[in-house]
Chains A and B, each alone.
Chain A
Amino acid sequence: MPNAAYIVLIPLLPLVGFVLLGLFGKKFFRKSSGIIGTGLVLVSAALAIWVAYGYFFEWGTDGASLKVLDMRWLAFSGGLSIDMNIVLQPLPVIMIVVVSFISLMVHLFSLGYMKGEPRFATYYAYLGLFTFSMLGLVLAGNLFEIYIFWELVGCSSYLLIGFYYDRPTAVAAAKKAFIVTRFADLGFLVGILILSFQGRTLDMDNLLQTLFSPAFQASGVSFLGMSVVAWGATLVFIGGAGKSALFPLHIWLPDAMEGPTPVSALIHAATMVVAGVYLVARLYLLYALNGVVPQILLYTGAFSALLAAIIACTQTDIKRVLAYSTMSQIGYMMFALGTFRPAGTDFLGYTASIFHLFTHAFFKALLFLCAGVIIHRVHSNEMKDMGGLRKAMPLTHICFLVACLAISGIPPFSGFFSKEEILLAAWRANKFVYAMGLFTSGLTAFYMFRLYFAVFWHRPVTDGHRHPMPLFESIPLVILALGAAFAGFIPFSRFILPGAPERAGGGIGVFSIAPVGIALVGIGIAAWLYRKESDRPQRVATSMRGLYTFAYHKFYIDEVYLFVTKKIIFNLVGRPAAWIDRNIVDGLMNGMAATTARISAGIKGVQSGKVQDYTWFFFIGIAGLAVIFIYIYT
């Protein structure tokens, strides 16, 4: 058995960093805060890798669930309590490695990237808080504990998006992210309440067992045609969809790019946004129970993937393209989870989804970090300000190319393996979704290489003078590029589900022809359009004018939201409510106060301060009493 003390340290060390740097960073660690934060996360990541090694090869080779920490925190009744647990299972163990490793890379990268920032210590404090919350989230064994960390993650995301708080756009983006995800979390909370009410426990393993038992299945309580458990699962999924930026709750993710670029790499690409996928995967038995809920996952995921890919093809802000690409890839993971069979026999979708989560973390973090380097170089987020950078920044060029190949699913890069497993799962489950996934895969290749060619080719090579790249920036890029290139060779499904076939897709086989082919077509079109400067992109855009403008404006989803909130909710609910508040609620209070004031003004003359007036009152009072006692109470 593992020693619990070390495992508790994994999330606690970043918290120590947060407290230390948050309280004393500005005074004592102005220069050294980056080193302190990075050092703590380094220890945490090393411990995580050690735990993963120990878990997969010594303690938990059969996929056992090890409860290494069990602290009762708030007990409602015998079974129902909020505990602070740490549970080791294959999925959490993989997640702690991903989270702490990517966090370490981002910490390292920020040492160079955020140098000279006046709020350097605060930045590292926030990163520490985020890392703590995310590690706590993935290690939690209690459903409500997950919710607590879930909100902490949202809070640190808010702080980091709004890090440049002097920019109004950053403030607006932070608010938007917080409100949208908070709105979705309401669904999560209600879902938790429903599930814990039905299952009589908040502990996830017990809950799944209870809900999965035949006795419970037979008792089937239902509401509007779906069983109550399915409703609970759907509501929890809504929470996950908010965090994971799935349609229609994705609107916050592109705006979240206002944060510092390493933050986008960590939170809005590699770790936090996959929390929804993690949540659904953690409770996957629940989703496999009912025939309807996997369908919701399947179509929401596939539609988000396709929609985001179409939008990404038209965006010109490099970070926004990457943001939509993130949304699209998360859509992939989600519809892979939706390919469950109710009988729970085919777990390919499940393993493929987690595999893609793992590889995506590498290449998406790499893409964002490269984008950060590029943005620093050209001082702009716009693609039109870039071009011909391949000689000026060779390392970034190679890393970016590796990441693009990985995300496009070109063998032998990591994305190929995971994406193929997802597509295979979709093929087995639903041909229509498979077609959507395949088309999205082509679009992915197109928009990624559109970005690649527009940044590094497109124009004649600019001046060769090279900025020396700080070592702290280049090390994470190289490590992540190695990960993005070779992570696909890990026999992943065997870790997630002991006993699963090692490689379901079978590597390069007949099935791979279609996805790789369509990806190559996408790359070819991108090269044809963007490799040299020409008017071809313009011509293509005009020939598809309607669709292009529609996609360029993100299908007007933001406008729909604004219309619904500003025009409908404000006018029909907000204004009447405000009127009632102002005139009736406030009026009642003000009226009471005004009446009191008027009465007191009327009678305050009694307090004249003249002794003889008081004598008169006294006399009248006594006379009155005398009358009463003499004539009435005789």
Chain B
Amino acid sequence: MSQVPLTHILFVSTALFFIGMYGLFTRRNMITMLMSVELILNSVNINFVAFNKYLYPGALEGLFFTLFIIAIAAAEAAVAIAIIINLYRNFRSIDVEDADELKF
């Protein structure tokens, strides 16, 4: 059985990364932006796993990195949601355009 080439997987992860990037730039809703950040993180995870499998089949560092990133992403989501709640309390909205007071 022939293996899926590495480039295919990298295409998927790159696509995922830029979809996330696009969402981060275009969405004004804070929660959607958080989801976009998660997409970016996951694209990185895919890269780690793929490189680990294809380049260093005997090693485990890539997998461990992935696990750490998943854990940190969970923590980050908790912090982000707390921020969003505070944002909502202050501005009655979670639109980032409304929260632009920290400027010149």
In the bound complex, do residue B21 and residue A619 qualify as a contact, i.e. CB atoms below 8 Å apart?
yes
A345 contacts B by Cβ under 8 Å? no
A608 nearest in chain B by CB position: B103
A616-B103 in contact (CB<8A): no
Segment 1-56 of B: residues with Cβ below 8 Å from A:
21, 24-25, 28, 33
B24→A610 contact, CB < 8 A:
no
Contact A610 B21 (CB under 8 A): no
Q: Is the beta-carbon distance between B96 and A611 smaller than 8 angstroms?
A: yes
| Any B CB within 8 A of the CB of A607 | yes
Cβ contacts B69-104/A at 8 Å (1 or 0 each): 000000000000000000000000000110111111
Q: Are B24 and A604 in contact (CB under 8 A)?
A: no
> How many pairs, one residue from A and one from B, have CB atoms within 8 Å of each other in the complex?
26
Query: By the criterion CB–CB under 8 Å, are A609 and B25 in contact?
Result: no
The answer to whether B24 and A612 touch across the interface, beta carbons within 8 angstroms, is yes
Report the bound CA distance from A615 to B97 in whole Å: 13
Instruction: List residues of chain B with CB within 8 A of the CB of A615.
Output: 24-25
Complex Cα distance, B102 from A605, in Å, reads: 12
B23 CB to nearest A CB, Å:
11
Residue in B24, B33, B97, B104 whose beta carbon sits within 8 Å of that of A607 in the complex: B104
Q: Which of B96, B97, B104 has the most CB of A within 10 A?
A: B104
Residue contact B96 to A608, C-beta cutoff 8 Å = no
CA distance A612 to B104 in the complex (A): 16
Q: Which residues on B sit within 8 Å (CB–CB) of A609?
A: 99-103
**Minimal Cβ-Cβ distance residue in B for A603:** B104
Roughly how many angstroms separate A571 CA and B100 CA in the complex, as a whole number?
58
Q: Given A615-B24, A615-B25 in contact, is the A610-B104 Cβ separation under 8 Å?
A: no
- CB contacts under 8 Å to B, within A593-626, are 604-605, 607-612, 615-616, 619
Q: In the docked arrangement, what's the CA distance between A517 and B51, Å?
A: 128
In the bound assembly, the distance between CA atoms of A607 and B104 in angstroms comes to 6
Which residue of B has the minimal Cβ distance to A611?
B96
- With A604-B104, A605-B104 already in contact, the answer to whether A610 and B25 are too (CB < 8 A) is no
Contact B103 A607 (CB under 8 A): yes
Residues of B contacting A612 with CB < 8 Å?
A: 24-25, 28, 96
CA distance A394 to B103 in the complex (A): 88
* Nearest CB of B to A259, in Å: 60
Q: Which of A605, A615, A616 has the most CB of B within 10 A?
A: A615
What distance in Å separates the Cβ of B99 from its nearest Cβ neighbour in chain A?
Answer: 8
B103 to chain A: which residues have CB within 8 Å?
Answer: 607-609
Cα distance, A179 to B100, chains bound together (Å): 61
Separation of A605 and B28 alpha carbons in the complex (Å) = 20
Residues of B within 8 A of A (CB): 21, 24-25, 28, 33, 96-97, 99-104
5 contacts between A and B (CB under 8 A): A604-B104, A609-B102, A610-B100, A611-B33, A612-B96
